[in-house]
Structure 1
Amino acid sequence: METGILHQAEQVLIGACMSGRNLRYWPEPESRTPDMDLFPYVVDDEEWARENGYGRAARKELERAAAPSRDYFHGLPEERRRAWLTTYHGDRAAVIEAELPVGGTIGHSANGCVAQAWQELYGDKARWFRASRVTRTLIQMRVGRTQAAPAYVAARQRWSACMQAAGITADTPLALRRQRLADEEAGAEARDRLVATAEARCAASSGLSRTARDLDAANASALEAQYPAEYRNARDLREAALPRARALIRKTLTNQNSHQKGEEPSS
């Protein structure tokens, strides 16, 4: 919930910045793969699977929501497209960097509307860039450690055998999900629901769901103990930004309602 509020506020700030440069911008969704956010290891909610399959409908809806921005960008002359990208991303005249826990350094322009939004929302764009990129890497590390654990591998193999018994060949849940979402033939969503429901049942009977959940929690705790300053830094920045984000969203909604009623927007 909190990350959604911060994302929404960031998108509002980016849009205002782009508009101020005489360019249009439509807010980007926080994620285009909500099914992966819910089930990063295996679909294990049978009721959700029966209703949603692999989240194909939600993914398509998010793609439709992103279409105006994509169509606008591709409809611009080449020179304006370059200007749009530079305005959004910034240039390389000034760079902020983050050293990653896995090694190496990642950078981002200190200019542009994205960096300006970070500055306005978090009060320190360089500190937020480092905190967000480091914690994102730590999430990837957590998932990687979980999937590499012998207990997870053993449970995944039991899950695969269960799926085989149900007439579905699948080495891993993620490979199966990619295979299903690549199916564009008629009736694909109905097949998604059948396969995802079998996946959820096998996730329970094989112990994969419980094993993944336990390992994920243990790895999250271990990484937070290993990198306490990084987690604390990101947490402090988010907590400090939340009041600003909520106030900005309230103001934006008020202005939108006033505009719809033909009133003068608040300053």
Structure 2
Amino acid sequence: MPRHARRHKAVTIAVAGVLSAGLLTGGCARGNAGSGQARHAFHLTGEAETLDVAEQLLERDCLEKQGFRLWVVPDSPPQRTFPYGVDDIGWARKHGYGSRLRAGLEKAVSADPNQKYFDSLPPDRRAALLAAVNGPRPKGLRVRLPNGVEVSHSDQGCTAEAERYLYRDLPAWFWATRVTNNLDGVRVAMVVADERYREALAGWKRCMGGKGYAFATPAQSADRALDPARGLTREQEIRLAVTEIGCARSSGLSGVAASLDREYGAQVRKRYAKEVGDLARLTREAMPRARAVIARG
């Protein structure tokens, strides 16, 4: 079930093999109408959570009309990311590169009731479920992302119906979410292409080599640590992460990356101010409708 980056449903994982970005938190609402499952109150702390749960409730009701089921599973807060290498020494000493967190995420995904339900369906019903959620074909909504990639999605199906109800202007919502979701990647690409970053990276590489690690970039060291086939122990993973942070500091890479991130971040926000503003406006206007949907249950 392709979604914008705020949430990726379990069925997306089953079809595309892509790991969801959020851990599941439990506390499901009722499943099918009349299923006998008890209602549960949602304890929502922010706009994103409220909108997410409201959208799932609307999709659940839409799917029920077509003979399918969906369990409402509130998303957890976003996981930490380190686009220029791990830079939090306390986090690194506790988690290394986060391999155990990733394993926990995979376990949560496999336990998700929507994943289990999807897996239980025969192939023809799986295809029908995906069509019900996403629409019959990816036509109706289209946008060219800042990175030049063109993406499209159906303006039909339960996801489109739910988002149209919440945000009213579905094309504007699609455009704003897809563009703004792409901005982090644009900013990071600008940083790592900057000559100042490359100079500092060369120093980081020399430092890591002196410690016995032959990595060209922090991304390579993370890939090494997170590759289960390489079989790093927890102690080895933590040692590598802590060494990386030390080299990032001594080479100046961490400071250069932070400075460039602020510099290019300001440029990107200015360049795409309209999309950022549209997203904020559409979100703000959708909140009363989302709260009403959740109140209905």
Residue 219 of structure 1: how far off its partner (Å): 0.8
Deviation of 1:207 after TM superposition, in Å, equals: 1.7
Q: Distance in 1 between matches of 2:199 and 2:53?
A: 40
2:138–2:152 Cα contact (<8 Å) kept: no
Letter in 2 for 1:223: V
Give me the CA root mean square deviation. 2.8
Matched to 2:163, the amino acid is W
Shift of 1:62: 1.8
Task: Indicate which of 95, 110, 113 corresponds to 1:52.
Answer: 95
Alpha-carbon spacing, 1:127–1:73, altered in 2? closer, same or farther (3 Å): same
Aligned to 2:204: 159
User: 158, 163, 186: which one pairs with 1:118?
Assistant: 163
Structure 1 residue 80 corresponds to structure 2 residue 116: no
Seen in structure 2, the aligned counterparts of structure 1 residues 143 and 87 have a Cα distance that, compared at 3 Å, is: same
Structure 1 residue 177, shift from structure 2 partner: 0.8
Q: Aligned equivalents of 2:286 and 2:254: distance in 1?
A: 35
AA aligned opposite 1:180: A
Residue in structure 2 matching 1:24, options 66, 69, 90: 69
Q: Normalising by structure 1, what TM-score?
A: 0.81
Contact kept, 8 Å, 2:146 with 2:186, in 1: the verdict is no
Alignment-mate amino acid for residue 248 of structure 2: A
Q: Show the counterpart of 2:30.
A: none
How far did 1:244 drift? 4.2
Deviation at 1:76, TM superposition (A): 0.9
Contact 1:33 1:59 in 2 (8 A): no
Q: Check 1:242–1:217 CA distance in 2 against 1; reply closer, same or farther (3 A cut).
A: farther
- Mapped pair 1:140 → 2:179: no
Q: Which runs of 5+ in 2 are unaligned?
A: 1-45
| Conservation of the 8 A alpha-carbon contact between 1:29 and 1:62 | no
- Shift of the 8–235 alpha-carbon distance from structure 1 to 2, 3 Å rule, reads same
User: What's the counterpart of residue 263 of structure 1?
Assistant: none
Mark the runs of 5 or more structure 1 residues left unpaired by the alignment: 252-265
Cα pair 2:197 2:256 within 8 Å, conserved: yes
TM-score (norm 2): 0.74
Partner of 1:176: 221
Taking a change above 3 Å as real, the CA distance of residues 60 and 93 of structure 1, as seen in their structure-2 partners, is closer
- Alignment identity in percent? 36
Q: CA deviation at 1:26?
A: 4.6
Number of equivalenced pairs: 250
State the alpha-carbon separation in 1 of the partners of residues 141 and 102 from structure 2: 32
